[in-house]
Amino acid sequence: MSDIQDKYNKNDIRENLEQQFQQLNADLEKPEDLKKEVFNTLDSLTLLGDIVELFTTKFIETEVKFLDTISNSENQDKSSKNDPT
């Protein structure tokens, strides 16, 4: 999980927004279309954040692990060829 997700859990944000909508003037009709738009925007931003994280942090971590694995494999092959036993 990223630092942002640790700090601001999606469920916590959703609950907070639900509370904000409930605190709107009780005499007035709740703007359902506005509520849907807010949550759609929140979901879109969350998706965008996940995609950015996937192709930056996670992608780089995966490349490093892959290259380390290849390097370790090559080193083991070299040491086994040099071992006379």
Q: Is it the case that residue 6 has pLDDT exceeding 60?
A: no
Q: pLDDT tens for residues 24-79? A: 766 677 688 888 998 899 999 999 999 998 888 888 898 999 999 998 888 777 77
Domain that holds residue 46: 3-82
Q: pLDDT tens for residues 7-16? A: 567 778 778 8
Q: What is the pLDDT of residue 4?
A: 54
Q: What is the pLDDT of residue 69?
A: 92
* Diameter of the chain measured on Cα atoms: 88
Q: How many domains does the chain have?
A: 1
**Are 2 and 57 contacting, i.e. CB atoms less than 8 angstroms apart?**
yes
Q: For the chain, how many residues are written?
A: 85
